[in-house]
Amino acid sequence: MKAEGRVGAISAVSGSVNPLVTDRMGSLLMAQSMGKYTNAVLKGNVYSGANQAGTTWTDENAAIYTGIALTNPVGSEKQLIILAAGLSQRVAAGGAVIQDIWLSGGSSQSAVTHTTPGTPRNMLLGRPNMAAGLVDVSCTFPADLEYYLMPLLNANTAAVLPTSGTISVVDVDGAIIVPAGAYVAITMFAGGAASSKMGCIVWEEISA
């Protein structure tokens, strides 16, 4: 079957069948008409877990954790595709130390202890929460988080809040997948004491 393309713009109405559109060199033209996550959101498959108040975060990858964490429980039939993660700093950390903020992860066939659960929010606003993923403001992992995965905020002097606006939401874009029994958390590396922050993790759920 031979496919034909038309050079230049076309005029069409809803439901019409149209030729492919090419440039003058014959290359197929494509355009993204919506946000890249719009279809997943419209299906009700995208969720956010976020602090609803400033929280004093745990320093480094400790098993007893406070901050914002996402767990895919053992036995889950979903894969959690991490789309974005980020944070805002509410209070400067004590001491003249340097802090980095990272997305960390681990996995275990033992259950996470959910000390202070958070609430997953469907990003199709008004849709009920049907998330398989579990959000925690504080929890105890079966062991220390195993590894740093991705930086969210570059090093800065902890005793001073940034004096200018900083983009602190990272488009993870599916580069991290959380299968059953795995978990991710936003962690503070060498951050000092009394550092109040709010974080968020956004993910899509698909069948395993």
Residue at 32 is within a domain: no
Residue at 107 is within a domain: yes
Q: What span, in angstroms and rounded, lies between the C-alpha atoms of 85 and 103?
A: 8
pLDDT of 118 > 70? The answer is yes
pLDDT of 71 > 70? The answer is yes
Could you give the 3-state DSSP secondary structure of residue 31? coil
97 lies in which domain range? 38-207
pLDDT of 158 > 80? The answer is no
Q: Which helix (H) or strand (E) holds 38?
A: helix 38-42
Residue at 56 is within a domain: yes
Residue at 140 is within a domain: yes
Residue at 201 is within a domain: yes
Q: Where are the beta strands (DSSP E) in the chain?
A: 5-7, 20-22, 46-50, 55-56, 64-71, 78-89, 98-107, 113-117, 121-122, 134-140, 147-157, 169-178, 182-189, 196-207
Residue at 143 is within a domain: yes
Number of compact structural domains in the chain: 1
Residue at 167 is within a domain: yes
Predicted local confidence at residue 69, as pLDDT = 97
User: What burial class does residue 172 get, using C-beta atoms within 10 Å of its C-beta: 0-12 exposed, 13-18 middle, 19+ buried?
Assistant: buried
41 φ, ψ to 5°? -65, -45
Mean pLDDT of 126-144: 95
Q: What is the pTM of this model?
A: 0.82
Residue at 30 is within a domain: no
